[in-house]
């Protein structure tokens, strides 16, 4: 079952396309569309990043995305979300992740959008390799475990629902 | 029996490869596959506490049993977004 | 002092343009861009809206927008915001308001974006005239008073900073 | 002295016009201008508690004094967004 709303790959991200996907067909059916774009930063902990690559385990990433989409549907039944993650080399200032969330209520659209980025950071099997003038480092964040209830609660708390 | 192992992120840097075949006993758990990997590549052993795993592109526990021909992926802590 | 980041008028809104305005010149200087688009809904309290017009007191609206921009700068010094409000007739499904917020930290970008829409609803001198099959109504919300501290606190609370 | 009054939203529907001239005493407050408007258009009087005001496109209190030639705007509760 393919879902254009969820994708991962080396293509340049288009958040406008995602917003259109969630805005729906019926004119005016959704009152609020919130988007998030995460761009590659030129500084990380005081070091100047010169190059950056994202690696992903793509089939598992799509599973993680579907899990997140279903969690959003459980929390905010009226919200629709779409999100894409980019892989491979990404130029500074370009987007690594793009998310769109739509809902009749703006509070739900904000919360759903925020929840997606928090959960992506917790469980998406994606790794960031940063290169500096004088070396490189794999950025490592969360231990990926979709069933970790504490992590889910933290993501929900941050989404300010 | 034989399983395919995928190593991601810093794990493949430390091991020097992204994919390998492992022989493990019948009904072995994912943790036994990890033991086999750390036996061959001691440099990845420090990830024992932070690694997570997938079998055939589904998240699993380290206690999940694997089957002949499974694709077992080991994931260092993730950093998407 | 003109600021392309703040505008009100009958033109169609382009949230992508606003996102570009706040994303900054230096590649990768901002890690997170959050946008909000409010679209005209086809239902309001169970009645089917067939047509809708926004009226504004434009010079005062620009003053209100500058007040909101300055409040954002005081709360979230690293955040940059841009927002446009549309006036006149707006087709169902089209955007009446578009907001973009950028910050190195996603929490600040989300909070600044949410704060702007909450404050716009509180103080922007904009009135919505909804037409139904069998009549019309002026939608009225908040008593506009930029110095009302309780309203400011409520907007800040909703922005989940 | 004379000031220009602007009526927005439902206020202009109730009054039947968007702009008018009002004579008010020297050093009159915005509230005196509002009294003059409600005298001419009693239909807007129910907005006494919810109206806010601007003078020359700056938000003001009802107690603010107006000057000859000022543009005084009355704003029913707003509904932007």
Tell me what the mean pLDDT of segment D71-76 comes to.
98
Would you say A18 and A83 are in contact if contact means Cβ atoms under 8 Å apart?
yes
Which are the contacts of C116, defined by CB distance < 8 A and separation ≥ 6? C36, C68, C72, C81, C83, C99, C101
Positive or negative, the CA dihedral D1, C126, A114, C149 is positive
Q: Which residues pair with D22 in a beta bridge?
A: D3
Q: Write down which chains contact chain C via at least 3 CB pairs under 8 A.
A: A, D
Longest dimension (CA), chain B: 38
The pLDDT, as a whole number, for residue A10 is: 98
Q: Is B18 part of the contact surface with chain A (CB cutoff 8 Å)?
A: no
* Local structure of residue B16 (DSSP, 8 states): S
Query: Is residue C51 pLDDT above 50, yes or no?
Result: yes
Task: Tell me the sheet residues that pair with D29.
Answer: D65
Contacts of B79 in chain A (CB under 8 A): 121, 126-128, 138-142
Question: Per residue of chain A (161 residues), what is the pLDDT tens digit?
Answer: 468 999 999 999 999 999 999 987 776 666 899 999 999 888 777 788 898 999 999 999 999 999 999 999 999 999 999 999 999 999 988 999 999 999 999 999 999 999 999 999 999 999 999 999 999 999 999 999 999 999 999 999 999 87
Interval D10-25 mean pLDDT: 98
As a whole number of angstroms, the distance between CA A64 and CA D22 comes to: 66
Tell me the chain A residues in contact with residue C114 when contact means C-beta distances shorter than 8 Å.
Answer: 106, 110
Task: Give the Cα separation of C131 and C133 in Å (integer).
Answer: 7
Instruction: Look at residue C24 in the predicted model and tell me its pLDDT.
Output: 76
* ipTM of the shown complex: 0.95
Q: What angle do CA C32, C38, C44 make, to 5 degrees?
A: 150
For the record, the structure tokens of C79 come out as: 């955040």
Least confident of A5-19, B57-71, C21-35, C68-82: C21-35
d(CA C52, CA C137): 10
Report the pLDDT value the prediction gives residue A29, as an integer from 0 to 100.
63
Report, as an integer, the average pLDDT of D65-80. 98
Nearest Cα neighbor of C110 from C85, C76, C141 is C76
What confidence category does residue C38 fall into, taking pLDDT thresholds of 50, 70 and 90? very high
Mind giving me the DSSP string for C2-24? --TTEEEESSPP-HHHHHHHHH-
Flag if D8 and C122 touch (Cβ within 8 Å): no
Kindly state the average pLDDT of the residues C92-113: 95
Which CATH class name applies to B2-75?
alpha beta
**Domain range list for chain D:** 2-75
Contacting chains of B (3 CB pairs or more, <8 Å) are: A
The values of phi and psi at residue C87, to 5°, are -125, 170
> CB-based contacts of A98: which residues, under 8 Å, 6+ apart?
A13, A14, A15, A18, A35, A36, A37, A38, A83, A84
pTM of the shown model: 0.95
Cα dihedral C55, C59, C62, C63 sign: negative
- Inter-chain touch B52–A117, beta carbons under 8 Å: no
Q: Which residue of B has its CA nearest to A139?
A: B79
The answer to whether C124 touches C43, Cβ cutoff 8 Å, is no
**Residue C82 pairs with which residues in a beta bridge?**
C100
With CA atoms as reference, the chain B residue closest to A84 would be B81
CB contact under 8 A, D54 and C124: no
pLDDT > 90: what percent of chain C? 81
CB contact under 8 Å between B9 and A138, yes or no, is: yes
Q: How far is C16 from chain A (nearest CA, A)?
A: 7
Q: Do A91 and C27 touch (CB under 8 A)?
A: yes
Domain A6-159 has CATH 3.90.1170.40: yes
- Among D32, D81, D41, which Cα is nearest to D61's? D32
Suggest the residue from A96, A126, A130 to mutate for an interface test with chain B (most B CBs closer than 10 A): A126
Contact D10, C127 (CB under 8 A): yes
pLDDT category, C7, cuts 50, 70, 90? very high
User: What pLDDT, on the 0 to 100 scale, is given for residue C27?
Assistant: 67
Residue-wise DSSP of chain A:
---TTEEEESSPP-HHHHHHHHH-SSTTS-SEEEEEEEE--SEETTEEEEEEEEEE-HHHHHHHHHHHHHHHHHH-TT-EEEEEEE-EE--TTSEEEEEEEEESSHHHHHHHHHHHHHHHHHH--EEEEEEETTEEEEE--B---TT-HHHHHHHHHHTT-
How many residues in chain C?
161
Res A28: pLDDT: 62
**Whether pLDDT at C84 is above 90:** yes
- Classified as helix, coil or strand, D3 is strand
Kindly state the helix (H) or strand (E) to which residue C66 belongs, with its residue range.
Answer: helix C58-75
Among A32, A38, A41, the residue with its CB nearest the CB of C38 is A32
With the CA atoms of A95, A37, C111 and C95 taken in that order, what torsion angle do they form, in degrees rounded to the nearest 10? 140
- CA dist A49 → B23, D23, D77 (Å): 41, 67, 50
The SS3 assignment for C33 reads: strand
CA distance C57 to chain D (A): 8
Residue of D nearest to C84 (CA): D81
pLDDT at A2: 62
Q: How many CB pairs under 8 A join C and D?
A: 93
Question: C23 touching A, CB under 8 A?
Answer: yes
List, in sequence order, every residue forming a beta bridge with C129; answer none if it has no partner: C53, C138
| Longest Cα–Cα distance in chain D | 38
Q: Compute the distance between CA of residue A157 and CA of residue A151 in angstroms, rounded to an integer.
A: 10
The whole-number pLDDT of residue D41 equals: 98
pLDDT, position A1: 45
Span D18-43, pLDDT tens digits: 999 999 999 999 999 999 999 999 99
pLDDT > 70 in chain B, percent: 100
Do B and D have ≥3 inter-chain CB pairs under 8 A?
no
Residue C2: is its pLDDT beyond 80?
A: no
**pLDDT attached to residue A93:** 87
Q: Across the interface, which of A121, A145, A147 has its CB nearest the CB of B80?
A: A121
For residue C43, pLDDT over 80 is answered with no
Rounded Cα distance between A93 and C45, Å, is 43
């Amino acid at each position: 079952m393919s879902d254009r709303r969820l994708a991962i790959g080396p293509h340049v991200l288009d958040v406008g396309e995602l917003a259109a996907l969630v805005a729906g067909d019926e004119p005016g059916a959704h009152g609020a569309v919130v988007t998030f774009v995460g761009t590659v930063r030129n500084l990380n902990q005081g070091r100047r990043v010169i190059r950056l690559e994202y690696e992903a385990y793509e089939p598992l990433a799509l599973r993680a995305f579907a899990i997140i989409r279903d969690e959003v549907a459980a929390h905010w039944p009226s919200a629709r979300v779409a999100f894409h993650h980019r892989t491979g080399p990404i130029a500074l200032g370009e987007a690594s992740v793009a998310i769109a969330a739509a809902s009749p209520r703006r509070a739900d659209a904000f919360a759903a959008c925020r929840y997606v980025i928090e959960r992506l950071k917790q469980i998406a099997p994606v790794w960031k390799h940063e290169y500096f003038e004088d070396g490189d480092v794999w950025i490592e964040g969360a231990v990926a475990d979709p069933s970790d209830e504490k992590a889910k609660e933290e993501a929900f708390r941050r989404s300010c629902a | 029996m034989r399983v395919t192992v995928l190593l991601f992120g810093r794990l493949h840097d430390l091991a020097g490869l992204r994919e390998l075949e492992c022989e493990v006993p019948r009904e072995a758990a994912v943790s036994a596959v990890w033991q086999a990997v750390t036996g061959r590549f001691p440099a990845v052993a420090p990830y024992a506490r932070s690694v997570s795993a997938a079998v055939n592109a589904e998240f699993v526990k380290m206690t999940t049993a694997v089957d002949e021909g499974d694709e077992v992926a080991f994931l260092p802590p993730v950093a998407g977004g």
